């Protein structure tokens, strides 16, 4: 077995996608990765509780107390570096990250989006707003996408996608839950393993 890649999950809310990753990690489905840190920008995010229950180090870093956004992001990077983080999974992290931060983790940071990109994505499309827009348009199929993060919101290269059927009587909440169960909770752990495996290979090559 090659060396594991230490990764962090960054999250703002309840952490259902984080839980999917924790469960996949426990089941041995992410053999090339080690979940070493959960970072939230919301101090009372339930995701932090999920991390603690699983014995994973967790930290909340809020913008309060920082003079500017640059100082805030520098502290995030400091905490990530201190934990030895090599790869980042954004799982419902709702704060905007600067171009400098994104470039610092180029091709080492992924995000899950609850639609089939390029539909219903980009600035302003998050959470229930994505599903509200999909239903308003009358689409028959929606889904989820895991992609690399670049400086354009939801603009990075697509890694995995999964389609999910939309029903006539769907509400945004019903559609959101179906997409989580059928797509998000399956795709994100799979993409995490794919990326960790590639990074581990690259790391091993450098050591030769």
Selecting among 32, 113, 131, 147, the annotated active-site residue is 113
Helices and strands, counts by H and E, the chain: 7, 7
HSE-up (13 A, CA, CB side) for residue 120: 23
Instruction: Report whether 125 contacts 112 (CB < 8 A).
Output: no
> Strand 141-148 and strand 109-113: pairing?
antiparallel
Residue 7 pairs in a beta bridge with 35, 87
Q: How far apart are the first and last CA of the chain?
A: 16
Please confirm, yes or no, whether 104 is among the known catalytic residues: no
Instruction: Report whether 45 contacts 18 (CB < 8 A).
Output: no
Q: Which residues are catalytic?
A: 113
């Amino acid at each position: 077995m090659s060396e594991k890649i230490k990764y962090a999950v960054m999250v703002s809310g309840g952490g259902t996608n984080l839980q999917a990753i924790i469960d996949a990690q426990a089941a041995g489905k992410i053999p090339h990765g080690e979940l070493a840190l959960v970072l939230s920008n919301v101090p009372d995010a339930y995701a932090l509780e999920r991390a603690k229950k699983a014995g994973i180090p967790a930290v909340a870093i809020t913008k309060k107390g920082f003079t500017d956004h640059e100082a805030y992001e520098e502290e995030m990077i400091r905490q990530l570096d201190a934990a030895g983080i090599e790869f980042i999974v954004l799982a419902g992290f709702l704060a905007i990250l600067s171009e400098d931060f994104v470039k610092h983790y180029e091709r080492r940071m992924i995000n899950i989006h609850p639609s089939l990109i390029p539909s219903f994505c980009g600035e302003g499309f998050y959470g229930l707003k994505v599903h509200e827009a999909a239903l308003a348009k009358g689409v028959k199929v929606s889904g989820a996408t895991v992609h690399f993060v670049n400086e354009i919101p939801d603009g990075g290269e697509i890694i995995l996608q999964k389609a999910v059927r939309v029903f006539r009587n769907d509400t945004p909440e019903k559609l959101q839950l179906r997409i989580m169960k059928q797509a998000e909770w399956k795709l994100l752990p799979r993409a995490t393993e794919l990326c960790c495996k590639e990074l581990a290979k690259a790391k091993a090559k450098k050591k030769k």
